[in-house]
């Protein structure tokens, strides 16, 4: 998706969700900045949004996997539908 990321990950009980999300956001922001920013430093800029959403999957893991796989199609269809519903 161009403006957000869906992930299905398993976190061992000894780690908190906020610790793992913070780690992922921090490391990926550094990676992207180093790979695409070259020598420029983007100090003070934010790569990720401040918040995040987390939900447990339990026994419905396959449903969540299917949702993530099909999300791009659903988002594109709703974006196209919005073209005709907006009043300018």
Residues with catalytic function = 67
d(CA 66, CA 72): 11
Q: Which long-range contacts (CB under 8 A, 24 or more apart) does 66-69 make?
A: 67/6, 68/6, 68/7, 68/8
- Taken in order 3, 71, 61, 57, the sign of the CA dihedral is positive
d(CA 11, CA 20): 8
């Amino acid at each position: 998706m161009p403006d957000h990321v869906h992930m299905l990950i398993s976190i061992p009980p000894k780690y908190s969700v906020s610790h793992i999300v913070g780690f992922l956001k921090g490391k990926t922001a550094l990676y992207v900045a180093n790979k695409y920013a070259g020598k420029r430093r983007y100090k003070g800029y934010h790569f990720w949004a401040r918040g995040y959403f987390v939900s447990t999957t339990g026994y419905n893991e396959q449903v969540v996997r299917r949702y993530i796989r099909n999300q791009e199609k659903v988002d594109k269809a709703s974006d196209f539908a919005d073209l005709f519903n907006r009043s300018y």
